[in-house]
Amino acid sequence: MQESVLAQFKKNQDIVLLSPTGSGKTLAFSLLVSQLIQSDKSLRTQTLVVVPTRELALQIESFIKKVITGHKILCVYGGHDTKIEKNALREAPAIIIGTPGRIIYHLERNYIHTQDVHTLVLDEFDKSLELGFQEQLQQIVEAFPNIKQKILTSATDLAALPDFVTLNDVIKIDNLDSENNKPSIIYKKVVSPVQYKLKSLFNLLCMLGDQKILIFCNHRDAVDHISELLDDRGLIHDIFHGGLEQRDRELSILKFRNNSNRILLTTDLAARGLDIPEIDVIIHYQLPYKEDAFIHRNGRTARMHAKGEVIVMLKPDDDFPYLPECTEELIIEEDLPLPENTPYSTLYISAGKKDKVNKIDIVGYILQLEGLEKDDIGTIEVRDKDAYIAVKRSVASKIIKEGSNGKIKGNKIKFIRT
């Protein structure tokens, strides 16, 4: 798919790229941006990438920084410190990635230089153009007078684009039906009367054991209700939806990514922007009303040619025409033991990049504690002002007790269990 995009790409011809989730669209448009970006030091911001969610913005920022080097890249999004973003924008980044509301915030205060921006990327454009985003997107498009290249990407198409998204001599690359890109997904169904649905879900989770599971609901209330049940049953999990504070949302994803939990309850907010390749099973506790939402949810598994499983939970009279025919029915077993705890626990310290602290510093500090080994440490994520460290559950208490009150790079350290 990336080769096809590069082969068909021509400057000043807009591109619409349609390809299944997990097939590498971010790499494709990053390669295009790398060809379009200029090394002229007199130019200020050259490329704007607009995405519908904060999580997707952060994923893309991390990815583009690996593909494009030698240029300043900045991510702006709601929930992030506006002062940090304002200061970072003073020396104009070559590439800005952001959510619509936060981009408009900076535009209205003239913090973003618009004159040199020649490339506009609308990632997940079908979502960004849904009702509620259109007015913001129109404001953004009209604020950049010198756009020469538009790149639109998604895993589902739109019948028509609004008038303000005018495309020039467009190249449409559609890989949605490509056999090479089709995810390898096994579909199964659980049929349960509504009064037994929660019990069926709990038993299903016990059946699935230590697999990595994403559970989709249509509403936040359902997520919170199921979470209470799992808490009562002692099943480790996290939740992720728009009603949470941004910090809590990011922490839920971080712990899911570093294997501190294997079960994440969520709304459609997680249907896009989660780049966690090893999700084994998608459970639809509630099915979405539209097929494209079903497609995006399922795109969280079977990514990059891995295999995945999708389980839909149905009431006896449910009828969803988009479900695959001959979906195998799964018979739920009862009275199974709880899945074992996840191997890792996540610890937090209030020191990060702004304090000159990096991953190597943290590993070195932990390993100087008696009895600790490299294998006891999992994924470490260092942010501007803090860091999160996955450690084996068996040594977490030891690190908290013996590692607190020391110093890393002159910063006093206290480990806190998240």
Position 405 pLDDT exceeds 80: yes
Same domain? For 98 and 204 the reply is: no
Position 183 pLDDT exceeds 80: no
Residues 366-395 have pLDDT tens digits of 999 999 999 999 999 998 889 999 999 999
Per-residue pLDDT, 131: 53
Q: Residue 339 falls within a domain, yes or no?
A: no
Q: Which of 63, 2, 6 is nearest to 35 (CA)?
A: 6
Tokens of 290: 């539209």
Same domain? For 313 and 361 the reply is: no
Cβ 63 vs Cβ 24: under 8 Å: no
Same domain? For 362 and 320 the reply is: no
Tokens of 318: 């449910």
Tokens of 235: 């099943």
Per-residue pLDDT, 221: 95
Does 133 or 283 have the greater pLDDT score? 283
Q: What is the CATH number of the domain that holds 373?
A: 3.30.70.330
Same domain? For 27 and 156 the reply is: yes
User: Burial level of 123, CB count in 10 A (0-12/13-18/19+)?
Assistant: buried
Which domain covers residue 405, as residue numbers? 344-417
Same domain? For 297 and 410 the reply is: no
Tokens of 185: 């997904």
- Count of H-run helices and E-run strands, the chain: 13, 20
Largest CA distance in the chain: 68
Q: Residue 299 falls within a domain, yes or no?
A: yes
One-letter amino acid identity for 364?
G
Q: Considering 174, 208, 234, which residue would you say is the last residue of a domain?
A: 174
Q: Which of 303, 338, 329, 360 is nearest to 59 (CA)?
A: 303
Q: What is the 3-state secondary structure (H, E, C) of 275-307?
A: CCCCCCEEEECCCCCCHHHHHHHHCCCCHHHCE
Does 219 or 4 have the greater pLDDT score? 219
Up-side HSE of residue 369: CA atoms within 13 Å toward CB?
22
Same domain? For 38 and 118 the reply is: yes
Same domain? For 170 and 26 the reply is: yes
Per-residue pLDDT, 275: 65
Same domain? For 85 and 212 the reply is: no
Same domain? For 34 and 166 the reply is: yes
- What DSSP assignment string belongs to 43-59? ----EEEE-SSHHHHHH
Q: What is the CATH number of the domain that holds 249?
A: 3.40.50.300
Same domain? For 276 and 164 the reply is: no
One-letter amino acid identity for 399?
I
Per-residue pLDDT, 174: 87
CA 3: distance to chain centroid?
A: 25
Q: Which of 281, 275, 285 is nearest to 214 (CA)?
A: 281
Q: Residue 335 falls within a domain, yes or no?
A: no
Same domain? For 279 and 170 the reply is: no
Residues 56-67 have pLDDT tens digits of 898 899 889 999
Q: Considering 329, 353, 370, which residue would you say is the last residue of a domain?
A: 329
Same domain? For 145 and 16 the reply is: yes
Residues 267-312 have pLDDT tens digits of 988 877 666 767 899 999 999 988 888 888 887 775 555 678 999 9
